[in-house]
Structure 1
């Protein structure tokens, strides 16, 4: 079995678990996991670990992410996206590009965000979405997130079915945006908060993840293409995969080791940190380019979070 990462361009309608289950069959192993859930309606970059590649996933979950999205202003839903029931409507008359850009600027940078109530966050041991679906009113506390980039691309007038029943319509605005955010940021919460800031309502109608850390859609394979390879007789070990070293170089801060340092880490020993106090996990590479370990360099002496190349005695 090969070890590494597989970047899948997740199709709409599939859960992240569905993609993992299919990939286990395609790659012939149960040892497949993912680095951060995508909602079923969302598409785009879903990073999978295969074999020892699953050990890298921990360090990708906290990576920053980039998305393209469409926000519908004028309607709120219970899930803050198009999969949920419409709960409120609000006027969008008079909302122009200048007002939108001003509101977007207020949601850019270091902000406090209340996550969507229909989310996987646990409340007293139970997922928030389960409590909401059971009829509870769930109020999650705000938490700090960073919106590095929030760009307005296009604004279009549209209409949607009103809450009064079949045949009724309400005017809405569909807003295309690109965002780059820290881990833990809910883009659908940004849509909700953008609507609220403008005195209306908002929810997501489309979401596509384009990047996780250094892994982008350029690295991605569709499930259709992967399935076609297996159907054509490609063995699991020969299926597309980003090798461990290449994956770590794309996703992590890099440190080149001497042969002696690589051997010390392989034996489970510590080595001096290259940059003491560095918060990011560090991919440590042997002189031959192989991935030796992922390091913690927060202290003067670096320790290995995980060792990929144990030294032989």
Structure 2
């Protein structure tokens, strides 16, 4: 028998879920709506069904924070398979090309060559996302156009690979006997990076093709999998790691503590004059009331506030 829906904080919360393989990010949103008894749920960045790991969800008024979480850097652990390229750049897609076994063996024995290929994919790079992605092309999702039989390449975009740390290459064989090289790696990157595309591009650079066979997101900005809600727990309406907007804001932004009068005035959209000793100028500052309520995210410029995002309580949420 399912337990009662979780009681939400007045301003909702941010929930950290350890997504299981096979579930879409939309599945996670749907299950969270049921578990928490609310329709107002969103996520800060999708995970492919094949991928597991940290999915950041916003609930209630706290969904307004998601805009400011989407752009955080990410960290993944992954297994790259070289020697086979696929239509989706991961193990779920049909094989496009299989490299000659002699060439795969040659590359596996040349650690410097692999290391150099990884180095070329580290730092600021231009990356073309996988054609099988959720990016819209002329109003249609790229994956829908691929399924309709179209062939195209998405425009390259700048991303930053802060770290691409790879373990020792392992020469092995697939279940049907094809020689491949498996590399376990940890990747720290900017938002918008496709780890599938990294596997594809490393394989292309080495001349043998490549794709992804495992992917797990372990960190989003300062937030990690530690203490996150397991997906099975979510299905049973057992929720942990639900943090208030104020808790999250403290980890991301400078804090401006408001008096009761200031909190009321800011809640009404008024600009405040702030002494620079209380708060230095910044593009985003978390304005917090004395009762630990997040009143809003504000810009502070020349000692004057301007509301960027306000945060109502559940009863006053738009």
1:103 is matched with: 117
Q: Helix, strand or coil: the match of 2:234?
A: helix
Q: CA deviation at 1:297?
A: 5.0
Once the two structures are overlaid, the 10-residue window that deviates more, 131-140 or 292-301, is 292-301
Q: CA deviation at 1:272?
A: 5.9
2:253 is matched with: 253
Q: CA deviation at 1:240?
A: 5.3
Once the two structures are overlaid, the 10-residue window that deviates more, 282-291 or 112-121, is 282-291
Number of residues paired by the alignment?
Answer: 295
1:292 is matched with: 295
- In 1, the alpha carbon distance for the partners of 2:297 and 2:58 equals 15
Q: Does 1:158 align with 2:172?
A: yes
1:244 is matched with: 245
1:76 is matched with: 85
Gaps of 5+ in 1: 162-166, 231-237
Q: Helix, strand or coil: the match of 1:119?
A: coil
- In 2, the alpha carbon distance for the partners of 1:192 and 1:104 equals 12
Q: Helix, strand or coil: the match of 2:229?
A: coil
Quick one: which of 6, 9, 19 aligns to 2:18? 9
Q: Does 1:305 align with 2:308?
A: yes
Taking structure 1 as the reference length, the TM-score comes to 0.86
1:206 is matched with: 214
Gaps of 5+ in 2: 1-6
2:3 is matched with: none
- In 2, the alpha carbon distance for the partners of 1:151 and 1:240 equals 29
- In 2, the alpha carbon distance for the partners of 1:123 and 1:144 equals 18
2:142 is matched with: 128
Is the CA contact 1:254–1:285 (under 8 Å) kept in the aligned structure 2?
Answer: no
Is the CA contact 1:12–1:41 (under 8 Å) kept in the aligned structure 2?
Answer: yes
Q: Helix, strand or coil: the match of 1:111?
A: strand
- In 2, the alpha carbon distance for the partners of 1:297 and 1:102 equals 45
The 5 Å alignment of 1:18-37 reads 18-37=27-46
Q: Does 1:176 align with 2:184?
A: yes
Q: Helix, strand or coil: the match of 1:120?
A: coil
Q: CA deviation at 1:145?
A: 0.6
